[in-house]
Amino acid sequence: MFRLHLIPYGTKFDIVGKSKYVFLLAITVILTCLTFMIFKGMNYGIDFKGGYIFEVKMPVEPDIQGLREKLGSLGLGEVAIQQFGNKEDLMVKLEKSEEGKEQSIAIQKVKDTLGKDVIYKKIETVGPKVGNELVSNAIKAVAFALAAMLLYIAIRFEWQFGICAVTALFHDCIIVFGMFSIFPIEFSETSITAVLLTASYSINDTVVIFDRIRENLRKFQKMKLNELINLSLNETLSRTTLTATTTVLAVMSLYLFGGKIIAALALPIIVGIIVGTVSSIFVASPLLMFLNIKREKFEDKPKQDAANIN
């Protein structure tokens, strides 16, 4: 039976030995992201900055790209258009203009651009207070997710594993958040989904590696901890890289061919998968070296010397 291995079986990379360089790089990147987030802020989209939301039913299937260009030329700020439900149903979001145009004038301009025979299901104004609530809810969602994962890892393994896993997750989430500050990428409601997907993907990889470390702690109790972690990482390296590669290829197709709205969600997910995979290998597991793991808790299994590894 043919098996695909991106990493040859039996590799012996000294991942733990190189981890100090990765830690230095990770700290530098995190500090850079935090600096940009604090002093530059996020590139918030309409959902956070406030604007106008129209839910309309067009008489015929519209030319979305043409409408986007027409609405964008009104001087009302950023425009977002998406279909929902039937092909004739549209949700139009317009950023409030910086010049402070009156709401009634802005709404009338949109109606004139959309044309006649349009049914307006809903017209709402989203103020900055709603945007602040969304930011607060986004932070709470990520914080609760990290806390739940910490609790899960601590119960399934040991508290040391939980600390290492959440540290790696914090690293992943900060980098994805920082991407929306450093680069001209809009941070919208869907971006929160990308951050949570990054955390869930990263923790899945980390749990697989931790499970192998726990198994090897029971099998090779005389092996040095750094050698055991290296062994566990090398044993799971092919699986980790293969999973990440196939997932990135799938999401990459959405980014390239899914249109503007799908691409805005796919890009941070791609970055998150790559960052999450790297942190699972080079951050979460090597961090166990700096915590006091009590090896006697794993002495209930038959002992086997490291020299018996084949």
Helix (H) or strand (E) holding 101: none
Q: State yes or no: pLDDT of 160 exceeds 70.
A: yes
pLDDT value of position 29: 93
pLDDT value of position 297: 60
Q: CA torsion sign, 186 to 204 to 157 to 230?
A: negative
CA angle at residue 215 from 214 to 220, to 5 degrees?
100
pLDDT value of position 129: 58
pLDDT (average), residues 40-57: 78
pLDDT value of position 175: 93
Q: Which of 143-157, 182-196, 269-283 has the highest mean pLDDT?
A: 269-283
Greater model confidence, 23 or 139: 23
H helix and E strand count, the chain: 9, 4
Q: Which of 174, 232, 164 is nearest to 203 (CA)?
A: 164
Q: Which of 23-27, 83-87, 111-115, 218-222 is the least confident region?
A: 83-87
Q: State yes or no: pLDDT of 102 exceeds 70.
A: no
Quick one: pLDDT band at residue 307, thresholds 50, 70, 90? very low
pTM of this structure? 0.76
Q: Which of 120-124, 147-151, 168-172 has the highest mean pLDDT?
A: 168-172
pLDDT value of position 303: 47
Q: Which of 48-57, 183-192, 250-259, 288-297 is the least confident region?
A: 288-297
pLDDT value of position 25: 92
Q: Mean pLDDT across the chain, nearest whole number?
A: 80
pLDDT value of position 306: 44
List of domains in the chain: 19-42+130-308 (1.20.1640.10), 51-126 (3.30.70.3400)
Q: State yes or no: pLDDT of 192 exceeds 50.
A: yes
Whether residue 121 contacts residue 55, with contact meaning beta carbons closer than 8 Å, is answered with yes
pLDDT value of position 81: 80
Q: Which of 94-98, 101-105, 282-286 has the highest mean pLDDT?
A: 282-286
Q: State yes or no: pLDDT of 33 exceeds 90.
A: yes
* Span 215-273, pLDDT tens digits: 888 888 788 888 889 999 998 888 888 889 999 999 999 899 877 778 888 899 999 99
Query: In b/e form, how buried is each residue of 253-291, taking b as 16+ CB within 10 angstroms?
Result: ebbeeeeeebebbbbbbbbbbbbbbbbbbbbbbbbbeee
Q: CA torsion sign, 112 to 114 to 118 to 119?
A: negative
